[in-house]
Amino acid sequence: MPPQQIAEDYRFKNLYDIWLKGDHYKWRAMRTNGVAERLCTGDASDREKFDAWAATVPHTIGNPLYHWTHLELRRPFGITGKLLSPSTADEIWNECNELLAQDNFSARGIMQQMNVKMVGTTDDPIDSLEHHAEIAKDGSFTIKVLPSWRPDKAFNIEQATFNDYMRSWAKFPIPTFAALLTCKLP
């Protein structure tokens, strides 16, 4: 979950928003299943994208995505005894969206329900840590939210964007190592 969503206690619009919007693993499975890009990351509606995922899930048996999908429906949505497929998509979509409309299904609310103690967010090493600092200052939220750097862009030396990415490092001020560790960057 992006740290900004945690800082703002984001309210998810629907099941697609919380579950599929940023999940490149699910998109890859959908593409492998022949799903058009507009239904993965394109301009299709959230419901159309969810339906495309529901049609893909039965083809993921043997892939961890199949098990993760049903675990994610069980916790925190409480859906058991139903496997996601085109025939169950309406029911699952509606059940989950009803729950997401409740106050305790915000970004923070879900983490608290799940008894989360610490979250490691996925961040580029030059991402701002402003939202981490904002969360750390909020005494009402006891879950630690820490960056776990993923420097993928630094390894993409064959990409046309690599040189610009490396130049951006030079513009990123880190006055001291202690400032970096405590999110106190300018």
Same domain, 23 and 68: yes
Band of the pLDDT at 183, cuts 50, 70, 90? low
DSSP state, 121? Answer: E
Q: Are 39 and 49 in contact (CB under 8 A)?
A: yes
Q: Both 152 and 177 in a single domain?
A: yes
Residues 6+ away with beta carbon under 8 Å from 136: 145, 183
The encoded tokens of residue 23 equal: 């999940």
pLDDT value of residue 172: 73
- Residue 66 belongs to a domain with what CATH number? 1.10.2020.10
Q: For 83-172, where are the alpha helices, taking DSSP H only?
A: 89-100, 107-113, 130-137, 162-170
* Mean pLDDT, range 108-136, rounded to an integer: 94
Same domain for 75 and 141: no
Confidence of residue 184 (pLDDT cuts 50, 70, 90): low
Give the pair of three-digit tokens for residue 52: 């495309």
Phi, psi of 142 (to 5 degrees): -95, -5
In this structure, the answer to whether residues 122 and 95 fall within a common structural domain is no
58 and 130 fall within a common domain? no
* 139 lies in the same domain as 89: no
**Do 99 and 22 fall within a single domain?**
yes
- Closest by alpha carbon to 83, among 71, 95, 94, 75? 71
180 pLDDT tier (thresholds 50, 70, 90): low
For the chain, how many structural domains are there in total?
A: 2
In tens, the pLDDT along 160-174 reads 999 999 888 877 777
Structural domain boundaries, residue 164: 117-181
Query: Using N-to-C axis directions, what is the helix angle for 46-56 and 89-100, rounded to 10°?
Result: 130
Cα–Cα distance, 175 to 103 (Å, whole number): 40
Question: According to the model, what pLDDT value does residue 10 have?
Answer: 98
* Final residue belonging to a domain, choices 52, 70, 103: 103
DSSP summary character for residue 11: P
pTM of the model: 0.84
Residue 65 lies inside a defined structural domain of this protein: yes
Residue 186 lies inside a defined structural domain of this protein = no
